[in-house]
Amino acid sequence: MSVDTSPRTTTWTYVEGEWLSGNPPLIGPTSHAMWLGSTVFDGARWFDGIAPDLDLHCQRINRSAVAMGLKPVKTSEEIEALAWEGIKKFDGKTPIYIKPMYWGEHGSPGSVVAVDAESTRFALCLFEAPLGGTGGITLTVSPFRRPSPETAMTDAKAGSLYPNSGRMILEARGRGFNNALVRDMNGNVVETASSNVFMVKDGIVYTPIANRTFLAGITRARVIGLLRQEGFDVREETLSVEQFMAADEIFTTGNYSKVVSVNRLDGREFQEGPVARKALELYMDWAHGRSASEE
């Protein structure tokens, strides 16, 4: 039986000068990206008429491309302008995920394993996706680890990193949890399988220090800044599972769902805490206020 390749929500993709609806066939069986994984992407969000930090996401995709050995063929400003052009193709009622992508079409001369930078291709895919994350999530400590920069391309938002995250989520779901709390190779907590993570203890907000084993996200940085402006003591430190188990509250940040409370970590139950609520409130106030001032 053939697989239905149509997207699950309304989708538009810009590639090679035109906007295409649906899921256009862009990668073939000889493409380096399909064969050997030379893909990078980024993800921004549009909702309520705003796209918070879209410029930063468009800048990061080009940095990821360089880290992968690809050649950025669009400036960040060009990508941002295309994103706003694509947003107009939607009805404006449902939040949109904004996904710029680069990939390699050919291997380099003399070694098919290494990508040929001159064969870099670009696409910008936008699709409807509700923000989600309401009601809190459950976490379990994953038996799998995040790799170090010496063993994987952790400095890029590379597609090749995500099968590891995927197996973390599948393993966690198999034990009745939504997601996983993930450690690095030294056993320190670094993130969840799909987002950055924070904990609160005695009024102090902690988040794992960026050690290049995980992507220290744009939304993470924004929330840290907003909480500090509000007077919170936010510390980036090396953190253990034991510290998270003893926390007063835990929450996650990420582009897909912004700020989400954790209501269970393995056998420990948590209530949605005041810091998580405040972080989401501050983020949304900032996002809407910035949009209004720019317009």
DSSP letters for the chain: -----S-SS-EEEEETTEEEES------TT-HHHHH--EEE--EEEBTTB-TTHHHHHHHHHHHHHHHT----S-HHHHHHHHHHHHTTS-SSS-EEEEEEEEESSEETTEEEEE-GGGEEEEEEEEE-----TT-EEEEEEEEEPPPTTTS-TTS-BGGGHHHHHHHHHHHHHTT-SEEEEE-TTS-EEEESSSEEEEEETTEEEEE---SSS---HHHHHHHHHHHHTT--EEEE-B-HHHHHT-SEEEEEETTTEEEEEEEETTEE-PPPHHHHHHHHHHHHHHHHHHHHH-
Low pLDDT (below 70) residues in the chain: 133, 290-295
What is the pTM for the complete model shown?
Answer: 0.94
Instruction: State the Cα–Cα distance between residues 145 and 199, nearest whole angstrom.
Output: 20
Where are the domain boundaries for CATH 3.30.470.10 in the chain?
11-128
Residue 295 has a pLDDT of: 36
| Start and end residues for every CATH 3.20.10.10 domain found in the chain | 137-288
Q: Which CATH architecture has domain 11-128?
A: 2-Layer Sandwich (3.30)
pLDDT recorded at residue 268? 97
Q: Indicate the residue type of 111.
A: S
> What confidence score (pLDDT) does residue 135 get?
78
Contact 146, 184 (CB under 8 A): yes
Superfamily of domain covering 137-288: D-amino Acid Aminotransferase, subunit A, domain 2 (3.20.10.10)
